Amino acid sequence: MAVQDNIGSSAPRTSLLNDPVVRGILYQIIVGGLVVAFFYWIIVNTAQNLAAQNKTTGFDFLFRTAGFDISFTLFPWSRTSFYWQAFLAGLLNTLLVAVIGIFFATLLGFALGIARLSSNWLIARVATVYIETIRNIPLLLQLFFWYFAVLKAMPAVRASFELPLEIFINQRGLMVPRPMPDAEFTWVLVAIVLSLIAAIAVGIWATRVRTATGRYPPRVVQAAKIADAVVSFLVAALAFSLLAQYVPALANASPLIWAAAVIVAAASLSRFAPYARAIVAFALTFVILATLLRAMFPVWHTAAIDIGAAIAGVVMGWILLEGTRNRPPSEGRFPIALLILIAAGIPALVYIVTGAQLAFEVPVLERFNFKGGVQLPPELVALVFGLTVYTAAFIAENVRGGIRSVNKGQTEAAQSLGLKEGDRLRLVIVPQAMRVIVPPLTSQYLNLTKNSSLGAAIGYPELVNVFTGTTLNQTGKAIEVIALTMAVYLTFSLLTSAFMNWYNGRVAMVER
Amino acid sequence: MAMDHVFIRQEMVEARQPPRGTDGPIAWLRRSLFASPSDALLTILGLLFLLWAIPPIYNFLIGHAVMPGGTVEECRAEGAGACWAYIYARFNFFIYGFYPIDQYWRPNIVFIMGAALIIPLLIPSAPFKRINALLFFVVFPVVTFYLLNGGVFGMRHVPTEQWGGLLVTLIISLVGIICSIPIGILLALGRQSKLPIIKTLSVMFIELWRAVPLITVLFMASIMLPLFMPTGTTVDKLLRALVGVTLFSSAYLAETVRGGLQALPRGQYEAGASLGLGYWKRTYFIILPQALKHVIPGIVNNFIALFKDTSLVSIVGIFDLLNTVQSASSDINWSSPTQAVTGYVFAAAVFWIFCFAMSRYSLWMERRLDTGHKR
């Protein structure tokens, strides 16, 4: 006690400047003062410059007539529209590209990330080459490439490439059919929403009952069996009628197709279900492969292509047979077919009962241009394509990192508990990987949205092009325009980080 | 009596054959290409894809390409591939832009000097690291500026409007890198600081720059910077872009450095404090060397992103590599169907070589530094 007192009283008196607290306050005053002075200097300069150029400030320009054309807008646009409408048009175009790009980039990115981890040497190598090539080349260069070297080099309108489903591609962009729903079709849309909700509700209820009792409710099991048969019948009918395109003998025997579908449906209720599924899988793979190969190698003899497709189809059927052999149709299986049937069947029923029509207005080549359909400008196509290809490479790396981060022991533990492959992924691996994948994934989404501003360089009318470009040039309101643009991107960024914080809080590992 | 039944082997057991099919090319094929039926299917599909994709690419780049020395007519011929003759003819333009031809020796000296300084800097075992770094980060930029800009020692003045091509791309990335390192470190320290005003300012700066796309930053720099300056001052176009790129990049760098600062155990800070070191000494001698070492790969990744992003300055009218390629693609003397594509492939190859080299270097560095943390 005495010793401590001694130390306390004999502590050397130091200069006030050496006191950390005082020093901290001093530093802050200096830095704060400098920053304030800097901004004051800038503001004074700006005011002087603006005065010298006889310019005023304020946002009233937003309500003046824009008087320029925008090549692609989501709402009717005319030269008499206001500047705030130009802002909105640019914003909507940015969001359009972002949403489409995010969708495709996620699909491609996950596929590539998984492919790069594949034990298949060839697949892993192909994915690696893709990722290492794409992410080391500037996005702007890639956009120029897609726009100037690919889309602008497409054939003229008269010689358009025809893709399946009445889609055409030429110098002027991509022409796709426009859906033309009639009044009754609203009911179908309502039915789609309601039946989706119903399917999810049934799924949750069934899972809850199973968690409580160990079994799915008997009624659900019965309904699931019937749904299984119905879905099997539909898929089989589809697969066999597609097959008829390639097998001439089948084409003239439609009763045969229906009979086969009925047999498959019946088999799906018995212990022969795996075989039935394998046959359907074989038919589907054969059709898909044959179509694909014919598109890829048009010069090869079609018979050779069909043989190749048949071999691959057999392999596929065999795989499915292997995979399903040891799995009897047990009551423990999740009633997925039932849910699909509810979600898809009810709208289909409504569609038939109400007599709704969903016609498609197909783009037709007229004298100088395509008439009808939706015409997507080449700028949009190039931008979406470029952003997708580029961002997917980064998403793939995030996905790979996420999956790699899940300890191998987790897989082994799940195996030792007797979980099947699918359940192992769904219940153990993916939830843990997602915890690592989602935060960088959301930043990739934000990056994609920000990168869509490069559309300005190829003439896509997004926010930066329409607003920071044309509007600023016309009005000269540099400060207001740039402030608004930055505010938009800042909002995106804040929303993203808010989501990330929420997600992290939800899934964070609970540590001891 | 059990003792009577003793069995002792009289002869050696014959050596068994090693298990077959665990080694050699066939085993490798089975393991990595045909491990399961689905693998086999994927392999077949992958091979088909390669068979479909590689021949046209090969034919375009090499098979049917017009090699340097070829003529425009050959490039315009039906079915001709890449027109490398065009790249060869415009090569100097892609490297130097509009820099006067008789002054090419100046950028050449810069290139040689840069390579001579940066290569030993990247080799960890090379001596004189401190002097080397000082030369590269301080002396080299100054010398480069006077050498390229001229106006001293009787060298002709070459305005920045005439600089271009790969030269400008390298200048912007180097200046961006060199200037953003100190700013980024200061911002990262500011963000970690306990002083509320400094912390808030740092956070605001970082978040603002990181939220907006670089292209709006460049627009802002090229339009607003002259507005912010006292009336009558003119700011060079290249300088405006440099300011924009540097501020943008330092915000990203700050976040990377913050990662390194957070990775340091608290004990290091406390140990420094217990030795009686003040904030700056502690930071300089103890914290930063360790923190930066942790995040060297991250910093290199920032540089790769910066290097790729320099291509955006073409939007505000600066003739970097991409812009020279882009503008040369409308050159009528070489107009041919493959002119544009060849230009893009060339530019892509140049960017790719630089970025890929950097990413490999960062991986190598990561592995090298990793050994220090193994227990």
Tens digit of each residue's pLDDT (9 = 90 or more) over A440-451: 899 999 999 999
- Are the C-beta atoms of residues A70 and A461 closer than 8 Å to each other? yes
Instruction: State the average pLDDT for chain B.
Output: 87
pLDDT(A45) > 50: yes
Among B52, B207, B224, select the one facing A296 at the smallest CB separation.
Answer: B52
Among B197, B216, B341, select the one facing A485 at the smallest CB separation.
Answer: B216
Predicted local distance difference test score (pLDDT) of residue B277:
86
pLDDT(B137) > 80: yes
Predicted local distance difference test score (pLDDT) of residue A11:
52
Taking an 8 Å cut-off on Cβ atoms, the answer to whether B308 and A133 are in contact is no
If pLDDT is split at 50, 70 and 90, which confidence band does A4 have? very low
Min Cα–Cα distance to chain A from B186, Å: 13
Return all residues near A471 (Cβ < 8 A) that are at least 6 apart.
A66, A83, A86, A87, A477, A481
Three-state SS for A252-266 is CCHHHHHHHHHHHHH
Neighbours of B34 (CB within 10 A): 15
Return all residues near A135 (Cβ < 8 A) that are at least 6 apart.
A390, A393, A394, A397, B355
- Are the C-beta atoms of residues A293 and A310 closer than 8 Å to each other? no
Predicted local distance difference test score (pLDDT) of residue A413:
92
Predicted local distance difference test score (pLDDT) of residue A511:
62
Taking an 8 Å cut-off on Cβ atoms, the answer to whether A148 and B194 are in contact is no
If pLDDT is split at 50, 70 and 90, which confidence band does A13 have? low
Return all residues near A301 (Cβ < 8 A) that are at least 6 apart.
none
Predicted local distance difference test score (pLDDT) of residue B266:
86
CA atoms within 13 A on the CB side of B131: 3
Q: How far is CA A346 from the centre of its chain?
A: 27
If pLDDT is split at 50, 70 and 90, which confidence band does A237 have? confident
Taking an 8 Å cut-off on Cβ atoms, the answer to whether A138 and B356 are in contact is no
Predicted local distance difference test score (pLDDT) of residue A357:
74
Q: Which of A137, A294, A316, A387 to mutate to test the interface with B (most CBs of B within 10 A)?
A: A137
B193 → chain A, closest CA residue: A24
Q: Is B230 on the interface with A (CB under 8 A)?
A: yes
Taking an 8 Å cut-off on Cβ atoms, the answer to whether B33 and A121 are in contact is yes
B312 → chain A, closest CA residue: A140
Residue of A154, A193, A188, A191 lying closest to A174 (CA atoms): A154
Restricting to B residues 306-365, those with a Cβ less than 8 Å away from any Cβ of A are: 308-309, 311-312, 314-315, 322, 326, 329, 337, 340-341, 344, 347-348, 351-352, 355-356, 359
Instruction: State the average pLDDT for chain A.
Output: 83
What residues in A contact B215, CB-CB < 8 Å? 453-454, 456-457, 464
Predicted local distance difference test score (pLDDT) of residue B3:
61
* Rounded CA separation A131/B188 (Å): 31
More confident residue, A205 or A301: A205
Lowest mean pLDDT among A170-179, A183-192, A315-324, B330-339: A315-324
Q: pLDDT, tens digit, for every residue of A121-172?
A: 999 999 999 999 999 999 999 999 999 888 888 888 777 787 777 788 888 8
pLDDT(A8) > 50: no
**What's the DSSP call for residue A39?**
H
If pLDDT is split at 50, 70 and 90, which confidence band does B372 have? low
Predicted local distance difference test score (pLDDT) of residue A238:
87
Query: Can you read off the two tokens belonging to residue B198?
Result: 């400094």
Q: A-B interface: how many C-beta pairs under 8 angstroms? A: 177
Predicted local distance difference test score (pLDDT) of residue A111:
93
Which residues are registered as beta bridge partners of A167? A163
Among A24, A45, A149, select the one facing B230 at the smallest CB separation.
Answer: A45
- Are the C-beta atoms of residues B70 and B338 closer than 8 Å to each other? no
Min Cα–Cα distance to chain A from B344, Å: 6
pLDDT(A1) > 50: no
Per-residue CA distances from A368 to A70, A160, A362 (Å): 22, 12, 16
**What's the DSSP call for residue A370?**
E
Predicted local distance difference test score (pLDDT) of residue B309:
92
Neighbours of B189 (CB within 10 A): 21
Q: What ranges in B137-287 are assigned the alpha helix state H?
A: 140-149, 165-192, 196-211, 214-228, 237-263, 266-274, 279-282
Predicted local distance difference test score (pLDDT) of residue B331:
83
Q: What ranges in A406-460 are assigned the alpha helix state H?
A: 408-416, 421-423, 430-451, 455-458
Among A132, A478, A492, select the one facing B224 at the smallest CB separation.
Answer: A478
Q: Please compute Rg for chain B using Cα positions.
A: 29
Predicted local distance difference test score (pLDDT) of residue A14:
65
Predicted local distance difference test score (pLDDT) of residue B43:
86
A289 → chain B, closest CA residue: B45
Q: pLDDT, tens digit, for every residue of A46-81?
A: 888 888 887 777 888 888 888 888 888 888 888 888
For B258-276, what is the mean pLDDT? 88
Q: pLDDT, tens digit, for every residue of A352-378?
A: 888 777 777 777 777 777 777 788 888
Lowest mean pLDDT among A110-119, A223-232, A285-294, B231-240: A285-294
Taking an 8 Å cut-off on Cβ atoms, the answer to whether A293 and B48 are in contact is yes
Taking an 8 Å cut-off on Cβ atoms, the answer to whether B230 and A490 are in contact is no
Q: Is B57 on the interface with A (CB under 8 A)?
A: no
For A397-402, what is the mean pLDDT? 92
Predicted local distance difference test score (pLDDT) of residue A508:
75
Q: Summarize chain A as % helix, strand, coil (round to 5).
A: 70, 5, 20
Taking an 8 Å cut-off on Cβ atoms, the answer to whether B215 and A24 are in contact is no
Q: Is B211 on the interface with A (CB under 8 A)?
A: yes
Query: Can you read off the two tokens belonging to residue B44?
Result: 């077949």
Taking an 8 Å cut-off on Cβ atoms, the answer to whether B220 and A482 are in contact is yes
